Homo-oligomer: A and B are copies of this chain.
Amino acid sequence: MKLSTYFRSSASYRVRIALGLKGLSWEPDYVNLPKGEQRDADYLGINPQGLLPALTTDEGGVLTQSLAIIEYLEETHPTPALLPSSALDRAKVRAMAQLIACDVHPLNNLRVLKYLKNPLGHDQATVDDWYRHWVVEGLQALEVMVKDYSDGKHCFGGEPGLADICLVPQMWNARRFAANLESCPTLLAIDAHLQKLPAFAAAAPEGQPDAF
C-alpha cells in the first residue's frame, strides 16, 4: 500500500497510526502541503479534493478521507479491532472520532487558516485564537463524552481504537498552538499513555522522514 502523507497532516497521522496498529507496512508518497504539492495535477488525479491523506491499495484502488480509509482497513484487516463489537458501542466510538474529524480539525485546516489571512485579512494572533477556540471547545465536549467509557488510558474500553487514533494527532496540534487543555485531564492522561505505544510513536510527525 502507498500512503500519500505529510508529516504534520493530522489526518495523515491518523492513518499512519491505524496502519501501525494493524501491523501493515506501507510505502510513503510525500506531498508537501506548504509547497502546495497537493494541488499538483498528479495529486489531484489521486484526490480531486487536493487534501491528504490518500491510500493506494496493492490492487490500485485509491481511497481518500482518513476515517473512510480507517474503516476500510478495519473491514479488510479486522484484527486487532479498532471498533468495539456492539453497534451501540461502535456508534459511541465513531461519534468521538467524528467530533474531532468533523467538528474540530476541519476548522483548523491549513486552507481555512489561509483564508482567514487572505482574503479576510486577519493577523497570526487572531488566526491562533481561532485555532485554539475550536480545539478547546471540541476537546472539552470530548472530555465529558469519554468520562463514562475511558479507563484513563483509552477513550473507550481497554485497547486503542478509532477515537484514540483521532485524539492523539489533535492533541499534538493543540500543543503546537499552545491551547490550554487544563480542563481536559482525562484526555491529557489518555494522550500521555497512547503516545508511548509503538504504533503511535512511529506515526508521530517529528519522526517522519519528510519532517523538517
Contacts and interface: CB of A to CB of B under 8 A. Distances in A.
Interface of A: 48-51, 57, 61, 63-65, 67-69, 71-72, 75-76, 87-88, 90-92, 94-95, 98-99, 101-103, 105-107, 109, 112, 115, 120, 122, 126, 130, 133, 138, 141, 144-145
Given A115-B133, A120-B122, A141-B49, A95 B107 contact: no
A65 B87 contact: no
A87 B75 contact: yes
What is the count of identical protomers in the complex? 2
Q: Is the interface of A mostly helix, strand, loop or mixed?
A: helix
Nearest to A98: B65
A209 to B, nearest CB: 26
Given A50-B141, A120-B126, A71 B94 contact: yes
